[in-house]
Structure 1
Amino acid sequence: MISTERPAAVQRWGRFGIVFAAVWLVFLFEPLAAGWHRRDLASGWIGITATLLFAVVFLSVFSSARRGRMRRELRPPLPQAIGDMTVLVALAVIMTVTLGEAGLASTVFLAVTAVTLLPAIAGGAVALGVAGVVELLATRAGWNVSSLPLAICAAAFAMAGVTALMNRNIALLNRRDEDELRVVQEERARMARDLHDILGHSLTVITVKAQLANRLLDVDADRARVELDDLERLSRDALADVRSAVEGFRGVSLPVEIARAREALRAAGIEADLPNSTDAVPTRLRELFAWTVRESVTNVVRHSGARRCTVTIDDRHVAVVDDGVGTDALLAGNGLTGLRERAAAADARVIVTHPQPRGFSVQVVAEEAP
């Protein structure tokens, strides 16, 4: 499961983020002072009230957007963003109507909020529109705010850069989580396939042998005992194979290697003819045969250029044959050298041949068990 818990440092910055936003409200002191100077008029109190509400709404919008980014949301839903912008614009209009030039201090906050909440193009258009309206109002009313449009554009541009950086980081984090989730899902699917390949046939054989032994108990006790011994061996081998699969293939298991060989050959575009059962292989040879399949199929995939690969297994013999080009360079390779050493330790022989007209064959033949 992908963890969504935020680090403690991120949580602390999230709590103090509202304080950093509140610092910029110092620029609203001018409209508050202008309203206080007009406190003998209704317009002054209306302007003060509108300014205070503007500050509260701005902090609320900023805090909401920050919480959304903590949840890895690039921006709030568009209807919510439009609603927040509408409220701020309405309050800014009231401030400007009641307080005059001082009320235009709200326009910088409008531009910054627009590029924070809205998509990039829309936010930039709103910021430019606000700067144009300020210029138009200042020209008609004769207000001395020549630097304000430039300040609006500069603040919007700076906030757009910060917002783009935060959105890029959020997108990277989301993509990382998606990749991790996909890896987990692929691993679960692979494990399910491997367990099916490992246990499907083995459990069927175990069930059949258990039924046979049960029927033979009253008919042929010696034969029933043989079946029960075989049943115990198969059960132990199946358990070992499952443990090997669950532990991530730290060891080798014959059914696991057959399953891996099937996937590797399929991915390489090589037609595979593989055994469905490995139950006949005695316990003492299963690891050796697993290494044989692993090393040989790896060579087939990497070096053979083959179109078909066949693996055959019985109680004393395993063979991996392909129809590729065949190369004597493999005879001195570390893989076959190690395989010969393993085979010698298990009283077996490695036989390498070149089938005609083309191909390469690796066989491991075990001596009769004493």
Structure 2
Amino acid sequence: MSGRARLAAMTPAPVETASPVARDDERRRPLFVALVWAVILTPTAAGVYQQHYPVVWAVLGYLSLVAFLIAYYYVFTQAVAARRRGVEVPCAIRRFGFVVLCLLASLVVGFAGENGVVMWFALSQIALVVMPRREAWATIGSICVAVVLVPWSLGLDWEVNVWFLVAILGSSWATDAIFRLRDTNRRLVRAQEQIASMAIEQERLRFARDLHDVVGHSLTAATVKAQLARRMAGTDDDRARAELREVEGLLREALKDVRGTVAGYRDVTLTSELVRAATVLEAAGIAAELPGAVDHVPADRREIFGWVLREAVTNVVRHSQARHARITVTAGAIEIWNDGADGGSPGSPSSSGLVGLRERVEAAGGTLQAGPDGTGGWTTAAMMVT
């Protein structure tokens, strides 16, 4: 097996994980939605009371409303769980579950009267969760028709006007847009993670290839000459010493090549990092203001400013949830500002990087400041002592 193959085999595949906070939010969301609908359906419960039913019928009306909320919660949680796994909502939920919700909603409307029409509003929302987009909109259209025709066909004098239909269609459009945006964001995040993983893998393979190509020949030659010197020892000492001198020269050359390879691997310039920052911020959807030129920055400060820019931009993309960033460069300082919480406080994921960056800046004769700016944003700045 070649060195590249061994390195690829040892490199673990990226695993998609969610933070504990994200997992908690996912678990709480269905309960939050159920509570919201419980509040929205309060007028429906009042409608049951206003009908002045006998106690038994009133209890049945309230039980049908509670049953609807329980079924709504169950169908919603199952559908969201399927979407989170990236699979289609099970047919039992998409068909049978929605039919049960329709039957319960009809029962509630029968008990609550005109105040129960909000049930159709709830059905239009859950249709977008459990069904494919085209099927959901066809269902929403059917609900709008039912909202108008059912009271008319039964001769009920309900004040179901056009504004209620507009509310159903408008809220459904907004919910549909939110779902599509979330799906797009998830695909973008997965694509970015895959691109980052592929870039890391390619860089590892490139570095392994460079080391093999640069050092392999010298070490192979040194090994052969060392073996020859060992065989000549005691029989031709002059030849053995000559071979050992050549081995020493080859090893020095190999060490020089290793240092050159590592130096090229760690090479950082302000200009290249500005280009990288523009690309990374754009890919992350962050509007960026960058300097047009950095010719005024002294040559001995461009590398350290490049390191500051690299770490700061990495933190902005990975930890801040920012929407806007601004990079300012003067002859003696560089400042990176963003309108999100960067997460560079002690114990955060980016704190260790800032600690190393501060040591690097101080070693170059400057100071580093990183923290909230007091307006909800975050600023990372390095100032060089003149």
Structure 1 counterpart of 2:231, from 202, 211, 215:
215
Find out whether 1:23 has 2:39 as its counterpart. Answer: no
The CA distance in 2 between the partners of 1:35 and 1:219, in whole Å, is: 111
Letter in 1 for 2:68: F
Aligned-pair distance for 1:97?
4.9
Q: Which residue of structure 2 lines up, in the alignment, with residue 104 of structure 1?
A: 117
Q: Matched residue of 1:188: which SS?
A: helix
The two structures, once aligned, show a CA RMSD in angstroms of 3.6
The CA distance in 2 between the partners of 1:158 and 1:22, in whole Å, is: 20
Q: Is the 8 A contact 1:131 1:149 kept in 2?
A: yes
Q: Which residue of structure 2 lines up, in the alignment, with residue 229 of structure 1?
A: 245
Letter in 1 for 2:94: I
Please give the residue correspondences for 1:76-155 in structure 2 after superposition, counting only pairs within 5 Å: 77=89, 79=91, 82=94, 84-97=97-110, 99-143=112-156, 144-147=158-161, 148-155=164-171
Q: Which residue of structure 1 lines up, in the alignment, with residue 177 of structure 2?
A: 161
Q: 1:217 to 1:112 in 2, by over 3 A?
A: same
Letter in 2 for 1:200: G
Q: Which residue of structure 2 lines up, in the alignment, with residue 349 of structure 1?
A: none
The CA distance in 2 between the partners of 1:174 and 1:26, in whole Å, is: 36
Letter in 1 for 2:123: L
Letter in 2 for 1:124: W
Letter in 2 for 1:158: A
Find out whether 1:198 has 2:211 as its counterpart. Answer: no
Q: 1:3 to 1:82 in 2, by over 3 A?
A: closer
Letter in 1 for 2:63: T
Aligned-pair distance for 1:98?
5.0
Higher Cα Rg, which structure? 1
Aligned-pair distance for 1:25?
2.8
Letter in 2 for 1:49: L
Q: 1:197 to 1:103 in 2, by over 3 A?
A: same
The CA distance in 1 between the partners of 2:184 and 2:201, in whole Å, is: 26
Letter in 2 for 1:225: R
Q: Which residue of structure 1 lines up, in the alignment, with residue 193 of structure 2?
A: 177
Structure 2 counterpart of 1:40, from 50, 54, 64:
54
Aligned-pair distance for 1:39?
6.0
Q: 1:176 to 1:235 in 2, by over 3 A?
A: same
Q: Matched residue of 2:41: which SS?
A: helix
Render the CA deviation track for 1:202-226: whole Å, top value 9, x for unaligned. 3332332222122111321221122
The CA distance in 2 between the partners of 1:77 and 1:210, in whole Å, is: 68
Q: 1:122 to 1:229 in 2, by over 3 A?
A: farther
Q: Is the 8 A contact 2:222 2:250 kept in 1?
A: yes
Letter in 2 for 1:129: S
Q: Which runs of 5+ in 2 are unaligned?
A: 1-13, 268-386
Q: 1:33 to 1:192 in 2, by over 3 A?
A: same
The CA distance in 1 between the partners of 2:256 and 2:100, in whole Å, is: 68
Q: Is the 8 A contact 1:35 1:44 kept in 2?
A: yes
Q: Matched residue of 1:142: which SS?
A: coil
Q: Is the 8 A contact 1:108 1:152 kept in 2?
A: yes
Q: Which runs of 5+ in 1 are unaligned?
A: 252-370
Letter in 1 for 2:61: G
Q: Is the 8 A contact 2:127 2:139 kept in 1?
A: yes
Q: Is the 8 A contact 1:135 1:146 kept in 2?
A: yes
The CA distance in 2 between the partners of 1:190 and 1:23, in whole Å, is: 54
The CA distance in 2 between the partners of 1:217 and 1:125, in whole Å, is: 91
Aligned-pair distance for 1:5?
4.6
Render the CA deviation track for 1:95-124: whole Å, top value 9, x for unaligned. 345555444322111111222343332222
Render the CA deviation track for 1:167-208: whole Å, top value 9, x for unaligned. 333333222222212212222232232233224333332332
Q: Matched residue of 2:265: which SS?
A: coil
The CA distance in 1 between the partners of 2:39 and 2:188, in whole Å, is: 35
Q: 1:80 to 1:184 in 2, by over 3 A?
A: farther
The aligned length equals: 248
Find out whether 1:56 has 2:73 as its counterpart. Answer: no
Q: Is the 8 A contact 1:74 1:170 kept in 2?
A: no
Q: Is the 8 A contact 2:117 2:147 kept in 1?
A: yes
Q: Is the 8 A contact 1:104 1:134 kept in 2?
A: yes
Q: 1:82 to 1:139 in 2, by over 3 A?
A: same
Q: Is the 8 A contact 2:229 2:240 kept in 1?
A: yes
